[in-house]
Structure 1
Amino acid sequence: MDRRRFLAGLGALTLANAARADRETFRRFHAALERNPSLGVFADTVGSQLGEAVVAGRIPQDLQGSFYRNGPGRFELGGERYHHWFDGDGFVQRWTIVDGRVRHQGRFVETRRYLDESQAGQFLYPSFGTYVARRGFRDNDTLNAANTNLVPLGGRLYALWEGGSAYEVDPETLATKGVKTWRDDLRAMPFSAHPKCDPQGGMWNFGALPGSNRIALYQIGADGAVLRTGLVEVPRQAMVHDFVVSSKHLIFLVPPYDLKDGKELSFAERHAWAGGGPAARPMRVVVVAKDTLAVRQVFELPPRMVFHFGNAWEDGACTRFDTVLHEGDVLSDLGGLMAGEQRANAQGRSEAVQICLDYGARQARVSRLLGPSEFPRVSPLVVGARHRRLVLLGSDQHKSPARLDTVNLVDLDSGKVDGYRFGADWQVEEHVLVPRRNARLETDGYLVGVAQDLKKGVGVMTVFDAARVNAGPVALARLPYRTPHCFHGNFLSA
C-alpha cells in the first residue's frame, strides 16, 4: 500500500497557526448546566472510575462477561472547552458481570495527545471540531483521541478512533499498552472505529482520509495478522464514518460534502454541505467486491448524511443493507452540545431504512423501517448474512440529535417494533444483542446497554430479554456516579 501518497494531504487538512479553543464555550456550557443538570452527560470527566453497581431485578445466570464501552470523556483543560462532542479524549469502560453482580471501571486512554496536553495543562493539537495549533504534530497519531469504539480481537482489546491507529488497552485493567501497528507500512494510517467481524474469522476495516480521494481497505485475521490491503478511488470523498459488509461486498455511503480551504477552521468546519439547492449532489453508494477489492458498482441516492449501518446480506442478484439516514448536515447540530445547546428537530430528520441494491437495474431502492433513530446493531450470529431483527435507539421527543430514550427491536419481516421507552429523564446509549450459548435465533439472548439516569445523575447498565423488550428491563445495574456518555462498544462473553 502506498502509505505516503495516501497521507500526503494530512498537513494541508489540519496545519494551522493559532488556537481557537475558548473560554466562552466553557462559560456558556457551565451556565447552561446550572439551569439544566441533565447536561451533566456532556460534562468533563476527571480521573479513573471504579465501583460496584446495585442491581435492581435479576441478572440472568447465563449472562456472564465484559461489556466494553468507549466515548469522549475530557472536554475541558486550562479553562477552555472543546467545541464538538467528537473531540473529547477517549474514556474506556468495562462493565463486568459475574454471578449476577456487576462491577464497573473506567479510565482514559493514554494517547500521545492525552499525555502531551495533560503535561502542558492546555489543548495543543487540532481535533475534529475545534481549531487548536499551539504545537506542531508528526502524523495522524499525534492527534489520535482513541474515543469511539472498544473492540476485542484474538484476546486483545483495541480503542479505536478513525483518523489514525488503534490503541491497544489491557482487557482486564484497561491500562494503555500503546499504538497498534498492524504492519510497518501501515503505521499511522487511518483505521475506522467500525471494523466488521468476518464470519470466517477476523475482521474487515477501512481507513478514510478526506481530501485523499481514496479509501484504504484492510482484511485482518483472527490472530491480528494483515491478510490483504487495498486502495479504492472515491472522488470528492469527505467524511466516511462507517461501512457494512455482506458475504460478497463492502459497502460505503458517501454523503455530499465539499472540503473548504481555509486557515483557522477545524476539520468539521471545513465540511461544506453540498446536498442542497439546484446544484445539490447525491449521496453515493460505493460497492466493493471482496474477492478483488475493486469497485464493482456505484449507485446514487438523494442527498443525506449518514453515520451508522446495521447489517448487509445478499438477496439473489441484489444486496440489502440497513442504515440510518439524516436530512442535511447534522455535524453542526451535534457541535452545539458543547456549549449547552440542544437544538430542536435535528433528530426528527432521521430515519432507519433498508436499501436494496439492484445490480441489473442499476437502481437503489429505499424502504423505511423506523422514524427518528440511531445506533443500529444486529446479533453477532447474523453478521454478513440474512437477518430478521435490527436494534435501534429512538426518540419521540425530537429535542436533540443526541437525546435518545427508547430501545427497539424491529422485525424486518413484519415491520413490528418491540420497544421500551425509558422516558424524559433518561438518555439511552447504544444497546447490543448478546446471544445465549448455542443460540440459533436472533432473539434467543439478551439486549444489553447503558442508560444515563439524568434525574439522579448516574450511569446504569440495562439488561432486557431480547424476546420481550416491551416488558422492560429484567435488570438495572445502577452505579453511584455518572459515567461519560459512550458511543460504541461490544460484549465479550465469559
Structure 2
Amino acid sequence: MQRRQFLQAGCALGLGALLLPGAARADADTFRRFHAALEHDPSLAIYADLEGEQQGPAVVEGRLPPDLRGVFYRNGPGRFERDGERYHHWFDGDGFAQRWQIGAGRVTHRGRFVETRKFVEESAAGRFLYPAFGTGILRKPFRDNDTLNAANTNLLPFGGRVYALWEGGSATEVDPDTLATRGLKTWRDDLQSMPFSAHPKIGADGSLWNFGAQPGSDKLALYRIGADGNVLQAGMVEVPQLALLHDFAVSERHLVFVVPPYDIADDPGLSMAERHVWAGSGAAARPTRVVVVAKDSLRVRRVFELPPRMVFHFGNAWDEADGAVTHVDLVLHDGDQLAANGGIMRGERQPNQPGGHRAMRVTLDYASGRARTVRLLDGAEFPRVMPQVVGRRHRRLALLASDRRNAGRILDTVHVVDVDGGHSDSWRFGPGWRAEEHVLVPRAGARSELDGYLVGVAQDTRAGTSVLTVFDAARVHAGPLALARLPYRTPHCFHGNFLLA
C-alpha cells in the first residue's frame, strides 16, 4: 500500500504545511458577519452553532407506513464556533451524529457530537486548536491526519456497526443506539490513519468499496472490505494533479472517479480549501477527467475527458455490452463550487442558477475513448438510488433541486427521476423550507425501484424545527405520507443511510 509514502506526501503538500511559523490564523470577522446576516435572515439558523446533545420524540402528522421500520442515521457539521471565532467553510464543523428511530407509528430522535480527539481537546480548551479543511487555525501541533478528523460527513451502518465518516482520515465507530463514540477504526494494521472517504458503496454481495485521497499527493488508495470487516483488496493508483475527490461510483466491473481541474497552491498560509485553485477557466483551462479503475486488478483502465466542471456526488454506475461501455449518473457544477460552499459561513447565499448544477448521465465508450453526456435534471444535487441496484442497471434516481422561482439556491424540492424517459415525479416543500438529502428505502421483497419510500429530513426555518419526511416513492407528487416534527432544530446534515429493522 506504500502507506508511509502516501501519508508523508499528503502532509508535506497538504495540511502539514500549516506547521510553518506564522501560519496560524484566528478569525472573528466571519463570526460577526454571519451573526449580522442571521439577524436579518432567521433561516440561516440551520447553519448556526449547536451545543450539547439532543433527544426527544417527534409529533407525527399523517400516517407512517406500518412496514417502514428501522433507523435513519444522519451526520453533518454541528459546531462552527468557539471563543468568538467561526470557521470559514461549511465542511469544517465538528460532526453531529443523529439517529431517527421509526416504528410502531412513532418516531424518536437522538443527536450527539462525535467525540473525536479534536473535539475533546478543543472542548477542554474552549477554543479551536487545529486546522480544518477551510480554516487555517493552528494553536497546537498535530501528529497525523486523524488528529484533525472531524467525523462530520456521513453515518454508515455496516457489518452490525456504525461509523462516522470524514474525507481525510479513519472511520470513527459510534454506538448504534446511544451514538457514544467508541474510537477510530483500523481495518488492517498497515492501513492505520489512511484516509477513508465518506461515500463508500455496498454492493449486492455485501462487500464495501471505498477510496482515500490526499489532495496534492497524486495517489489514490482503494479498498474493498467484506461484510465481516476483513480487507479483501487494497491498492493504490497514480492520478496526476489529484485534487479533492468527495465521491465515486461503482459498476459491476469498475470504479469511476471524476477529477475536477484544480491546481494545489504551494502556499502554507492558506487552508487546504483555499489552496485549491480553479483551473477550469481561461485560455489554459484544463478538462475534468474521468478516471476508470478495473475492480479485478485495481489498475486504471482508461481516462476520459469532459468540459471543466466540479463534481461532489454520484448517483450510480452500470456496465453494458460486456463491460465495453459504462454509464454514470452524477451532478456536474459550473465553476469553483468548492469556494462557493464556504460563503454560507459568512451568511452569504448563492444565486439560483439551475443550469449551473445539473444531474447528468455520462456514457463512457472504452473503444473510442469518448464520453457523451445527457441532461437529467437542472438545479439538482444529492443523487441516490435504491440500495439493491448499486453497481447495476438503475431506472430511478432520487434528487433534490432548487425550484426556478427561488432567487437563491435553496434545495426545496424532492424528485424521483425516470432516467430512461426523463419524467420527474416531484414535490416542493415551499417557502421557508430547506430539504436535506433524501434516500430511497425498499419495502421488504421489493420488485421494482418504486416499491418503497423516499425518506429524508427537511428544515422548517419559519418554525425553527426539523422534520422527518416520508413519501411513497411511486407517488412523490402526492406529497408526504407522514411528517414527524421535532420540537427543536437539528444541524443541517450532509449524508446518511437507512437501516431497515
8 Å CA contact 1:342, 1:399 repeated in 2: no
Residue 420 of structure 1 is aligned with which of 427, 442, 456? Answer: 427
8 Å CA contact 1:243, 1:308 repeated in 2: yes
Partner of 1:364: 371
Partner of 2:137: 132
Alignment CA distance shift 1:163-1:468 (3 Å): same
Residue 155 of structure 1 is aligned with which of 152, 160, 168? Answer: 160
Output the aligned Cα RMSD.
Answer: 1.0
The DSSP-based 3-state class of the residue aligned with 2:386 is coil
Give the distance between the partners of 2:73 and 2:101, measured in 1 at CA. 9
| 2:53 corresponds to 1:48 | yes
Give the % identical residues. Answer: 67
How far 1:412 sits from its partner (Å)?
A: 1.2
Partner of 2:401: 394
TM-score, normalised via structure 1 length: 0.98
Partner of 1:488: 495
Instruction: Mark the runs of 5 or more structure 1 residues left unpaired by the alignment.
Output: none
Query: After superposition, what is the alpha-carbon deviation per residue over 1:113-149, rounded to whole angstroms, capped at 9, x for unaligned?
Result: 0011111111111111101111110001000000000
| 2:192 corresponds to 1:187 | yes
Query: After superposition, what is the alpha-carbon deviation per residue over 1:394-430, rounded to whole angstroms, capped at 9, x for unaligned?
Result: 01246555x2000000001211000000012100000
| 2:42 corresponds to 1:37 | yes
* Equivalent AA in structure 1 for residue 262 of structure 2: Y
Alignment CA distance shift 1:346-1:111 (3 Å): farther
Give the distance between the partners of 1:310 and 1:344, measured in 2 at CA. 25
Partner of 2:221: 216
Give the distance between the partners of 2:419 and 2:350, measured in 1 at CA. 31
Give the distance between the partners of 2:225 and 2:338, measured in 1 at CA. 31
Partner of 1:440: 447
| 2:292 corresponds to 1:275 | no
8 Å CA contact 2:352, 2:402 repeated in 1: no
8 Å CA contact 2:170, 2:193 repeated in 1: yes
The DSSP-based 3-state class of the residue aligned with 1:269 is helix
Partner of 1:98: 103
How far 1:211 sits from its partner (Å)?
A: 0.9
* Equivalent AA in structure 2 for residue 330 of structure 1: Q
* Equivalent AA in structure 2 for residue 355 of structure 1: V
Partner of 1:292: 297
Give the distance between the partners of 2:129 and 2:69, measured in 1 at CA. 41
Alignment CA distance shift 1:76-1:238 (3 Å): same
Residue 340 of structure 2 is aligned with which of 316, 333, 337? Answer: 333
Partner of 1:461: 468
Give the distance between the partners of 2:26 and 2:376, measured in 1 at CA. 40
* Equivalent AA in structure 2 for residue 5 of structure 1: Q
Listed as ranges, the matches of 1:9-408 within 5 Å are 9-12=9-12, 13-14=14-15, 15-16=17-18, 17=21, 18-316=23-321, 317-345=324-352, 348-397=355-404, 399-401=407-409, 403-408=410-415
Partner of 1:4: 4
Partner of 1:471: 478
Q: Which moved more, 1:168-177 or 1:390-399?
A: 390-399
8 Å CA contact 2:360, 2:377 repeated in 1: yes
8 Å CA contact 2:353, 2:379 repeated in 1: no
Give the distance between the partners of 1:176 and 1:347, measured in 2 at CA. 40
Q: Where in structure 1 do 4 or more consecutive aligned residues deviate above 4 Å?
A: 397-401
Give the distance between the partners of 1:312 and 1:399, measured in 2 at CA. 33
The DSSP-based 3-state class of the residue aligned with 1:11 is helix
The DSSP-based 3-state class of the residue aligned with 1:307 is strand
TM-score, normalised via structure 2 length: 0.97
* Equivalent AA in structure 1 for residue 419 of structure 2: L
